[in-house]
Amino acid sequence: MHSKLPIFITATALLLSACGNNVTGVKSTQTDSLSTDSVSPSVETKDPNSVKKSSFAGQTRISAVKTTTAFESKILSSDLKSPWGIVSLPDGKLLITEKGGTMKIASPSGTLSAALTGIPAVDTKGQGGLLGVTIDPAFAQNRMVYWAFAEPVSGGNLTSLAKGKLSADEKAIENAVVIYRATPAYNGKLHYGGRVIFDTKGNLLLSTGERSDKETRPQAQDPKSGLGKVIRLTTDGKPAPGNPTIDPARPEIYSYGHRNVQGLAIHPVSGDVWEAEFGPRGGDEINLVQPGKNYGWPTITYGIEYSGETISEGLTQKAGLEQPVYYWDPSISPSGMTFYKGTSIPEWENNLFVGSLSGMHIARLVIENNKVVGEERLLSGENQRFRAVIQGNDGALYAVTDQGRLYWIGKK
């Protein structure tokens, strides 16, 4: 199926669109100056969901910043079906998962392939389906692909990790095999986590959710459970060497106390692992993930139940539990994310870009010394649920939305 012709949108046009102006096809240049002055207004203007106070300055509602370099975006395709994961192939093509259980390859211009064959069945109920995807660091030699998915099993479903080889003709995944299952199974349809990336040592990092329901939430704190964790594995699905020993029963666990991690990224300078985590109302988080650490859910949170009720004891801090680097109140529903590494847009260097679902934008976070010092909201006039964002081999950002769009974002 061929993509639609690219639609060009620039930063200023997007700002006008957010104010209700119809600017489709308009080109212009953003000239606002970058500012991280602590007294400048926050990018967030809505009332918070919760009355809880942050634990340190800059932990939420940080000062607004704006990009000075002229940039633009293009809609390469609007023909995807609920895309979820995206990864750049060495030749510049993009491998994209669709929630319903298919993978497709997009050309640099946005032309989509037919669905690849050879993908194991997925459970598509609720938030389930075919989820995150990545490729082997040695893909040019071995053509190996790794993906997370909601797997139907006896007793319900679970977050699983599979691998297979992309065929030479790019029409199939060959010899697909499940290499890890985040047990126990649960008969639910929410909070699978599902991002998968490689760390700097060539090991896989997989995020799992705690499955949302009150009966499963405590498993995020249980080191004998695979739910609500960041898992670190070899490419064979075994516990990676050097993992922390949280519990001998689960040597694959890297960190725990997570709610629903849908964003994972490696800092391009430090190699540190960062994550974006769905919280309850007013409790979405960005965390710097350290081995063996407990990130608190559901014992501590800055959010509240969707009903407005208090969660657990209403605590935001407790000894031995980690604080988020940053949180959003009200929630934006953060999903896939990436760090920018390049020189074409200088002020983006080492910034974190996070897809936002309910917020309908891409959040740009300026990070200095592991603290967020500025936030910008990109493409907010598009009214799209941004599910994932990556940096392609051409240095530009690529994003997919629940509504089926594939975006290119780069220097004008």
Q: Give me the active site residues, please.
A: 191
- The pair of structure tokens assigned to 39 is 């007294």
Question: What span, in angstroms and rounded, lies between the C-alpha atoms of 383 and 361?
Answer: 8
**Residue labelled with tokens 């040695």:** 138
- The pair of structure tokens assigned to 60 is 């939420």
Which of 125, 304, 287 has its CA nearest to residue 195? 287
Which of 369, 368, 365, 346 has its CA nearest to residue 356? 365
Question: What span, in angstroms and rounded, lies between the C-alpha atoms of 338 and 221?
Answer: 27
With b for 16 or more beta-carbon neighbours within 10 A and e for fewer, the 203-241 pattern comes to bbbbbbbbbbeeebbbbbbbbebbbbbbbbbebebebbe
- CB count within 10 Å of CB 138 equals 11
- The pair of structure tokens assigned to 200 is 């700097």
Half-sphere exposure (Cβ direction) of 259: Cα atoms closer than 13 Å? 28
- The pair of structure tokens assigned to 392 is 């392609």
- CB count within 10 Å of CB 141 equals 8
Question: What span, in angstroms and rounded, lies between the C-alpha atoms of 189 and 227?
Answer: 14
Cα dist from 149 to 11, 103, 158, 184, 207, whole Å? 35, 12, 8, 15, 11
How many angstroms from the chain centroid is the CA of residue 335? 4
Question: What span, in angstroms and rounded, lies between the C-alpha atoms of 357 and 100?
Answer: 18
- The pair of structure tokens assigned to 69 is 């370099």
- The pair of structure tokens assigned to 195 is 């991002």
146 within 8 A of 87, measured Cβ to Cβ:
no
User: What H or E segment, with its residue span, contains residue 15?
Assistant: helix 11-18
Provide the terminal-to-terminal Cα distance of the chain, rounded to the nearest Å. 28
DSSP helix/strand/coil, 347: helix
